[in-house]
Amino acid sequence: MPETEFSYIICYDICDDKRRNQVAKCLEGYGDRIQYSVFEARLDEKLYQKMLKDIAQIIETDLDSVHVFRLCANCMLERVAIGLAIGLTPPGTERYWIV
């Protein structure tokens, strides 16, 4: 049975350019950038724990902050996009074509 996936919003405030770039590059491997310092990722528990570990190895905990919010399915359905965000496809609503 496949492991359950959840959607996460990850946002950060990193004061050092090098660490900020490392965190951004790390998160690009897990999800999509939706704002300059905000990512959205759909992860199972194993990937979620790996992401947290990877981030913790990069940041300076006494200088930087990273917030991770898990979104329930209802939250994802109720989200509102305004402006350029309107074109983003909410996770779980993608269409796949098999030919």
pLDDT at residue 1 greater than cutoff 50: no
Express each pLDDT in 82-99 by its tens digit: 776 655 555 555 555 565
pLDDT attached to residue 92: 53
What is the DSSP code string of 19-82? HHHHHHHHHHTTEEEEETTEEEEEEEHHHHHHHHHHHHHHS-TTT-EEEEEEE-HHHHHH----
Q: Indicate the domain borders of the chain.
A: 5-87
CATH second-level architecture of 5-87?
Answer: 2-Layer Sandwich (3.30)
More confident position, 7 or 81 = 7
Position of tokens 């690009």? 28
> In terms of pTM, does the model score above 0.85?
no
What's the DSSP call for residue 42? E
Position of tokens 């770039």? 21
Q: Measured between alpha carbons, how far is 37 from 90 in angstroms, rounded to an integer?
A: 19
Express each pLDDT in 24-79 by its tens digit: 999 999 999 999 999 999 999 999 999 999 999 999 999 999 999 999 878 877 87
